[in-house]
Amino acid sequence: MELIFEISKSGRRGFIPPKMDVKPYKLTSEYVRKNPPKLPEITEGEVVRHYTNLSRLNYAVDTGFYPLGSCTMKYNPKLNEKVASLSGFSEIHPYQNPETVQGAMELMYELGESLKKISGMDAITLQPAAGAHGEYTGIAIIRKYHRDRGDFSRDEIIVPDSAHGTNPASSAMNGFKVVVIKSNDRGMVDPEELKKAVGPHTAGMMLTNPNTLGIFEERILEISRIVHGAGGLMYYDGANLNAIMGQIRLGDLGFDVAHFNLHKTFSTPHGMGGPGSGPIAVKSFLADFLPVPTVLKKGEKYVFDFSHEKTIGKVRSFYGNFSVLVKAYAYILVMGEEGIKRASSMAVLNANYLKAKISKILKVPYNDRCMHEFVASTINLQDKGVKALDFVKRMLDYGIHPPTVYFPPIVHEDIMVEPTETESKYTLDRFVEIVEKIVKEADENPDLLKDAPHDTPVRRLNDTQAARHPVLRWKEN
Amino acid sequence: MDPYIPHTKPEVEEMLKVVGINSTDELFSSLPQEKRVKSLGLPEGLDEFNVFLKLKKMALKNSDAQHFTYFLGAGMYNHIIPSAVQQIVSRGDFYTAYTPYQAEISQGSLQTMFEFQTMICELTGMGISNASMYDGASATAEAALMSVRFKKKYKILVSDALHPEYIETIKTYASGPQVKIEKFLHDKNGMVSIEDLKSKIDDETAGVIVQYPNFFGVIEDLKAIREVSKDVMLIVVTNPISLGILEAPGNFGADIVTGDGQPLGIPMNFGGPSFGIFAIRDDKRFLRTMPGRIIGETVDVDGKRGFVMTLQAREQHIRREKATSNICSNHALGTLYASVYLSLVGPRGLKEIGELNVAKSHYLLEKLEKTGHFKRKFSGEFFNEFVVETDINVSNFQEKLLKANMIGPVELDMFNELFKDDSQEKFSKGELMFCVTEANSVEEIDHLIAIAEAM
């Protein structure tokens, strides 16, 4: 498709601002822009057509199955969008008098209370803008906690080798050394390995549970005891909370700090990569370290509380991604206690059903009971010269979004499948049929996979050229 | 049954059979059973309509821009949003898509992001833009860390005329890698004191952060700032909507430009989400240390133009603890708002909008001064907000404005509680900052002035 700059015609306009109704003011000339920015000049109709046509090149949850492991691409209810766009939520300013935004503060307070109930934690901040931002915030809290106790020697965070890349990165951004421990042959944290890794330098451990293989860390209570015994704190990476919400609470498993991905577990849309929202919940002994302000209820009034003496400060401006909070709260209200439990049940059922079917077709390296996702491998297709990447690219031709590929890094040629609870048995069965077909194709005509995709708006793109000769903006010829 | 979960009872039974278990409870047998939770204490689920009513009731308790006129800014602004913006961003093909990891079926996302990067380069006068950060504050904190990485020096100088929440965010981000944050002062014009800045730059300084227009609305003299900021990275935080009429920071030699994208067609949303701008000079060495996703142009196997996420070797999913940042999700949908907005208003519209902001805010200031109750605090040129000192009863004034369906100016002393240390000069009572945009009509401004006159 043409770029919007390529359809621009000098002099055309898409929006006319109101007329000047006061005396114009001339700024000092040295500040005044000499050459206008080369923005597109087009009519409203052309703008709408351009973006509408672009949108049609996209695959999305609204168009089809999106079994992207670790991303929880569940359906995004339309009620969420409707309530978030109410002017009483979308057109209010963060600095207006709290008396004039009591409804918004009530919503933040109530959402916080709901998330505390779901997680079994004691205090919460809604400020972080994404999951990784939540991790950053949580690890900053752990750092400050140790320093506040006068313990400056704890400079290590432990992460399993199966962890999301954000875990080590969030630790490093907080100035920590990252200690990676190897998973055992069942894909789980080995408590013996962990015992060797902990010590007076351990500030904490970051853990996704179920882990990125979709396996619940059975020995979680023992893991928490080992880390706590060494003086460290336990951090819960909430990316995979959809597997266990309503079944068990993080606080009861020994976690001290946890983040939520509202854009995964609580059905808010991913928006092509964001905005998300990554609230952080903590046990009561860490409440004073939370970013400011938090929302408190005093009698019938809601107030912003800046009084935290030990706060890590702010991690962004204002109070968080408020409109995402509205959507997540709407979801929790619709689901209720039973719905939340049913969501995790059906998510885990879907994954196990799919794994049972797929394991007859592809290798499934850790074939225990999985939780909300599982990892399969296309390694058996290797002798045909077919890689996991070829395999998933062929899926595109069948109109399906492929699973996550080459993650976690501890399995070769892996695909990571997370169906979520919002997909029907029919959709899962169709997915299985497609996988079966592609495996057959790999055997009969491997080039069909190696050259895939064939039927997409563009075909396989040259990543190497993009990186070697970066073209990162449009320029006039 | 649940509207979002499709499983019928017979289907569940059939699926359990395939899995080889008898009940859904067995799915959770690997959890420590003694810790299983009986009740979360959440209420029963509600039907869609009743949830809507409940949330509508909450929304109605808030005073919003559909019913009130705003004279409040300070980092979040009430601008006119063209109708087409909401229509486009509400397309499910955009907002329900994930990060474009599968480029072949994400060209819509990727091309809009590539176009966005181009528009940000054009606005800021910089060579390279990424595909967004979370917001202006975190983008600026990341810029501080990038200059530390690049210069391998551990001191950042921050203007005290930078937004207080941005300063606090930078301080948080600086605490892990133990970067020293030092402030330099503003002068009576409300502009960076060049003398003070000059005296604080030393061999340990990696970067200097200024805001343009600054927190007080005043337009900084970037030329003078660049001249004294030799051998350090100059980070300029900008308000993008002002760049239709203000000279681009890139043309003054900025190394990194950050800012909050909210003014470009995004509703105020009680403070978020918007997106963070992050643009750098066209320099390969800079590019390698830049955080965030970047979209690049390439070709497919048939030679057809296409777009991909590129230079990912900087990012956490590849580099893990050695990544340039931990950022994963960004604020892509916010960039779509901005792209559609900028495409609609075009260069001429953006200039006119800028002129309206400048003219209307100056109109209000002039009339306020005439009432005899308000004194301009800073003499520097400003864009769409300005600080005044007043001797009137502020809460009384705000109350009267509210009764007249107006959301009044920000009282700067509200920021004092944010500063836990004494490094920042505290604001005094009676310091107000008014903001006027193209969304304020002359009648509304006159109405405010009439109330001010009667104080």
Tell me what the pLDDT averaged over chain B comes to.
96
B410 with B72: CB under 8 angstroms?
A: yes
pLDDT band per the 50, 70, 90 thresholds, residue B424: low
Please enumerate in sequence order all residues whose Cβ is within 8 A of that of A394, keeping only pairs 6 or more positions apart, or say none: A438, A441, A448, A449, A452, A453
Domain B84-339, CATH class in plain words: alpha beta
B445: closest CA of chain A, how far (Å): 10
Is the pLDDT at A154 greater than 80? The verdict is: yes
DSSP string, B290-331: --S-EEEEEEBTTS-EEEEEE-GGGSHHHHGGGSS----S--
Q: Which residues of B touch A462 (CB under 8 A)?
A: 298-301
Nearest CA in chain B to A253: B35
- As a whole-number percent, the residues of chain A with pLDDT over 90 amount to 97
B258 with B143: CB under 8 angstroms?
A: yes
- Summarised one tens digit per residue, pLDDT across range A101-153 is 999 999 999 999 999 999 999 999 999 999 999 999 999 999 999 999 999 99
Q: Which residues of B touch A188 (CB under 8 A)?
A: none
Count of CB pairs separated by less than 8 Å, A with B = 704
pLDDT band per the 50, 70, 90 thresholds, residue A20: very high
- Summarised one tens digit per residue, pLDDT across range B197-232 is 999 999 999 999 999 999 999 999 999 999 999 999
Query: A210: cis peptide before it, omega within 30°?
Result: yes
Q: How far apart are CA A62 and CA A267, in angstroms?
A: 13
* Whole-number Cα distances in Å, A350 to A417, A421, A423, B5, B31: 10, 7, 8, 11, 18
Indicate the DSSP class of residue B428: P
Decide which of A124 and B323 is more confident. A124
Q: What is the pLDDT of residue B318?
A: 86
Q: How far apart are CA B291 and CA B130, in angstroms?
A: 8
Domain B69-82+346-453, CATH class in plain words: alpha beta
Is the pLDDT at A323 greater than 90? The verdict is: yes
Q: What residue spans define the domains of chain B?
A: 69-82+346-453, 84-339
Is the pLDDT at B421 greater than 70? The verdict is: no
In this structure, chain B runs to a length of 455
Q: What is the mean pLDDT of residues A167-184?
A: 96
Q: What residue spans define the domains of chain A?
A: 4-55, 79-335, 339-463
* Whole-number Cα distances in Å, B349 to A15, B102, B245: 7, 36, 10
Candidates B1, B42, B418: best to mutate against A (most CBs of A within 10 A) is B42
pLDDT band per the 50, 70, 90 thresholds, residue B420: low
B92: closest CA of chain A, how far (Å): 6
Q: Which fold has domain A79-335?
A: Aspartate Aminotransferase; domain 2 (3.40.640)
Q: What is the mean pLDDT of residues A221-249?
A: 98
Q: What is the pLDDT of residue A377?
A: 97
Does the structural domain A339-463 have CATH classification 3.90.1150.10?
A: yes
Q: What is the pLDDT of residue A388?
A: 97
Cβ B107–A54 below 8 Å, yes or no? yes
B237 with B136: CB under 8 angstroms?
A: yes
- As a whole-number percent, the residues of chain B with pLDDT over 90 amount to 93
DSSP string, B226-268: HHH-TTSEEEEEE-GGGGGTBPPGGGGT-SEEEEE-TTTT---
Please enumerate in sequence order all residues whose Cβ is within 8 A of that of A58, keeping only pairs 6 or more positions apart, or say none: A272, B93, B94, B97, B105, B106, B107, B108, B109
Q: Give the phi and the psi of residue A237 in degrees, each rounded to 5.
A: -80, 110
Whole-number CA gyration radius for chain A: 25
Q: Which residues of B touch A95 (CB under 8 A)?
A: 72, 74, 76, 410, 414
Q: What is the pLDDT of residue A367?
A: 87
Q: How wide is the angle at C-alpha B121 spanned by C-alphas B119 and B123, nearest 5°?
A: 70
Confidence (pTM): 0.98
For residue A83, which of A105, A49, A107 has the smallest C-alpha distance?
Answer: A107
Cβ A83–B302 below 8 Å, yes or no? no
Q: What is the pLDDT of residue B419?
A: 73
ipTM for the whole complex: 0.98
- Give B354's Cβ-side CA count (13 Å radius): 26
For residue A111, which of A284, A283, A302, A300 has the smallest C-alpha distance?
Answer: A302
For residue B281, which of B309, B297, B247, B257 has the smallest C-alpha distance?
Answer: B257
Of B14, B97, B247, the CB nearest to A32: B247
Question: Which of 354-383 (A) contact B at CB < 8 A?
Answer: 356-357, 368-369, 371
Is the pLDDT at B104 greater than 70? The verdict is: yes
Is the pLDDT at B425 greater than 80? The verdict is: no
Q: What is the pLDDT of residue B317?
A: 87
Q: What is the pLDDT of residue A450?
A: 97
- Summarised one tens digit per residue, pLDDT across range B137-186 is 999 999 999 999 999 999 999 999 999 999 999 999 999 999 999 999 99
B373: closest CA of chain A, how far (Å): 22
Q: Which residues of A touch B98 (CB under 8 A)?
A: 61, 66, 68, 71, 73, 270, 272-273, 401
B203 with A351: CB under 8 angstroms?
A: no
A452: closest CA of chain B, how far (Å): 10
Q: What is the mean pLDDT of residues A188-205?
A: 97
Q: Tokens for B430, please give them.
A: 């009676």
Axis crossing angle, helix A425-444 with helix B9-19, rounded to the nearest 10:
40
